[in-house]
Copies of this chain bind each other. A is one copy, B any other.
Amino acid sequence: MGSKYEQGLDKHAANYSSLTPLSFLGRSAHIFPNKTAVIDDDITLTYRQLYQRCLAMASALHDLGIRQGDTVSVLCYNTHELLESHYSVPMTGAVLNALNTRLDANTLRFILEHGEARILLYDTDFEALVGEVINGMESPPLLVAIAREGGPSRLARLDYEQVLASGKLVSARAAPDDEWDAITLNYTSGTTGNPKGVVYHHRGAYLAAMSNAMAMDMTADTVYLWTLPMFHCNGWAYTWAITAIGGTHVCLRRVAADAVHERIERHGVSHLCGAPIVLNMLVNDFHRDGKTLSRTVQFAVGGAAPPSTVIRRGKEVGFEITHLYGLTESYGPSMLCVRQPEWNSLPLDDLARKMARQGVGLHAIDEVAVAGSGTRLAPADGQTLGELLMRGNTLMKGYLKNEAATQEAFRDGWFHTGDLAVMHPDGYAEVKDRAKDIIISGGENISSQEIEEVLYRHPRVLEAAVVAMVDEKWGETPCAFVALRDADAPPDQQEIIDFCKSHMASYKTPRRIVFGDLPKTSTGKIRKNVLRDWLKSL
């Protein structure tokens, strides 16, 4: 840069500050002090109250010895306490580690030890689990009990509300010295091996929140229902985004169709998010019970493409569906299937095919590409399969204490998603399968996901998963595991195989169908490794 544009034009306190989502809470408390920030069953907090509680908790955590770079873990439902932790913990300079409530004691113990948690805040509903977790830990974290439905704790010496009440209303640090400082730690729910600790930074969290707010056209009128766990990538950054736009958070301890419907209607919910299984369940249950919504509600689904039946039934009950894609490593959603105006006139099945694609990067993502041969990128032909790659400001700092995995994930200047995708001519990427789930039969790549999509179209199929089965002649062939809607109905392998044959090339048709319940991870993903092990053990 020529010196005239540098000399005497430095950064200083008046024209530069670290980007951080912590600034959103202070701003909304300033502009909307008396507006409802959080509704959590019978507890309602205004933005001023939420801000003051977070300041007080940050001060109290500091008094408990929490300092820059420490880890504070939280095991809690989607309640105001977990939302507060997204501000109070980083306000101290520490890192928030929101734990998946569906994990077993061993995994939770591994995470607390690996993340070096100094304090564990937990809902006393999990009292027994926490007892099991800390049993046998050499230096367990300090326990702080959140006594809501679970009642008072017999395990923890400290109580969340008492700790908070001990805090002073001092003005916390508004921003970290360096926007690259860690803000949260989220463990992957790997289907194999130990979970990896994904580290987010303040800058990325700020940009992820802004991008996600813009992706869903959110405004100060937004009322957001917490069907998505806040422990999933910090609730896809909506823990911060809803606060950024001055919207209202509606908490929810457990996702059930009645509770969701009631809250949407009572609080005028405008947006909610969730995995396909949640969307499916809500749409099915609303449909079964003849429940519709009194106004259109935006539903952002992430994790898999919404089938056309779900899009149609969703619309009938009142959900407008948007398809997002992301990973723990990308702060949750990093891609969005932007709906083009001309799609509105498409037949439903064509629309569903368009919407099934993972799409394009959010604002904070610089580039999305599909790896080709060597160091080249795949052409945008909708055909060439390669690993989906991304780069941008909302990709993690890396994996905690795991340089090898970090370097592997970030090799060649790209983040490697581990998903196999094609790039369509219109610049929309579509994930075809997890790299490790691809089936190679007679030298041909077969996408297990493509077969699963066909299986899901069969009216009797509730869930389906396809994995590779060793075959002497072809190397591998597809084997399908299927759970039927009516578990008591007689399974009919040939009926399913014939259905597949009529919808796909015959070499892709599963050779075998196994009926029964499907094993899942704590986040509801089907554990294909278990199915593979089961096949091998035959």
Given contacts A8-B398, A9-B406, A19-B393, contact A1 B31 (CB under 8 A): no
Q: Is A427 an interface residue (CB 8 A)?
A: yes
- Contacts of A396 on B, CB cut-off 8 Å? 15
Which residues between 21 and 42 of chain A lie within 8 Å of chain B, taking CB atoms?
Answer: 23-24, 27, 30-33
> A interface, how many residues as a size bin?
35 or more
Q: How far is the CA of A220 from the CA of B322 in the complex (A)?
A: 15
User: Of B178, B363, B395, which is within 8 A of A1 by CB?
Assistant: B178
User: Of B175, B219, B360, which is within 8 A of A217 by CB?
Assistant: B219
Q: How far is the CA of A199 from the CA of B2 in the complex (A)?
A: 13
Q: How far is the CA of A398 from the CA of B70 in the complex (A)?
A: 37
Q: A395, B17: Cβ atoms under 8 Å? A: no
Which residues between 214 and 236 of chain A lie within 8 Å of chain B, taking CB atoms?
Answer: 214, 217, 219-220
Q: Is A414 an interface residue (CB 8 A)?
A: yes
Determine how close the nearest CB of chain B comes to the CB of A117; give it in whole angstroms: 12
User: Of B12, B68, B178, B340, which is within 8 A of A2 by CB?
Assistant: B68
Q: B393, A4: Cβ atoms under 8 Å? A: no
Q: A14, B361: Cβ atoms under 8 Å? A: no
Q: B15, A366: Cβ atoms under 8 Å? A: no
Q: B31, A68: Cβ atoms under 8 Å? A: no
Given contacts A5-B181, A23-B366, contact A33 B427 (CB under 8 A): yes
- Contacts of A30 on B, CB cut-off 8 Å? 360, 427
Given contacts A214-B213, A366-B174, contact A69 B8 (CB under 8 A): no
Q: A363, B410: Cβ atoms under 8 Å? A: no
Q: Is A515 an interface residue (CB 8 A)?
A: no
Determine how close the nearest CB of chain B comes to the CB of A101; give it in whole angstroms: 24
Determine how close the nearest CB of chain B comes to the CB of A100; give it in whole angstroms: 21
Determine how close the nearest CB of chain B comes to the CB of A181; give it in whole angstroms: 5
Q: A31, B69: Cβ atoms under 8 Å? A: no
Q: B178, A17: Cβ atoms under 8 Å? A: no
Q: How far is the CA of A70 from the CA of B5 in the complex (A)?
A: 9
Q: A401, B4: Cβ atoms under 8 Å? A: yes
Given contacts A69-B4, A403-B8, A427-B30, contact A14 B391 (CB under 8 A): yes
- Contacts of A11 on B, CB cut-off 8 Å? 180
Q: Is A245 an interface residue (CB 8 A)?
A: yes
Q: Report which residue of A14, A392, A395 has the largest number of chain B beta carbons within 10 angstroms of its beta carbon.
A: A14
Q: B391, A13: Cβ atoms under 8 Å? A: yes
Q: Is A96 an interface residue (CB 8 A)?
A: no
Q: B393, A15: Cβ atoms under 8 Å? A: yes
Q: A9, B214: Cβ atoms under 8 Å? A: no
- Contacts of A16 on B, CB cut-off 8 Å? 393
Q: How far is the CA of A366 from the CA of B204 in the complex (A)?
A: 18
Which residues between 231 and 253 of chain A lie within 8 Å of chain B, taking CB atoms?
Answer: 244-245
Determine how close the nearest CB of chain B comes to the CB of A418; give it in whole angstroms: 14
Q: A415, B116: Cβ atoms under 8 Å? A: no
Please give the residue numbers on chain A whose beta carbons come within 8 Å of chain B beta carbons, in ascending order.
Answer: 1-5, 7-17, 19, 23-24, 27, 30-33, 68-70, 93, 95, 116, 174-175, 178, 180-182, 199, 204, 210, 213-214, 217, 219-220, 244-245, 338, 340, 360-361, 363, 366, 390-393, 395-398, 400-403, 406-407, 410, 413-415, 426-427
Q: List 15 A-B contacts (CB under 8 A).
A: A1-B68, A1-B178, A2-B69, A4-B400, A8-B401, A9-B182, A9-B406, A11-B180, A14-B413, A15-B391, A19-B393, A27-B361, A31-B427, A213-B214, A220-B338
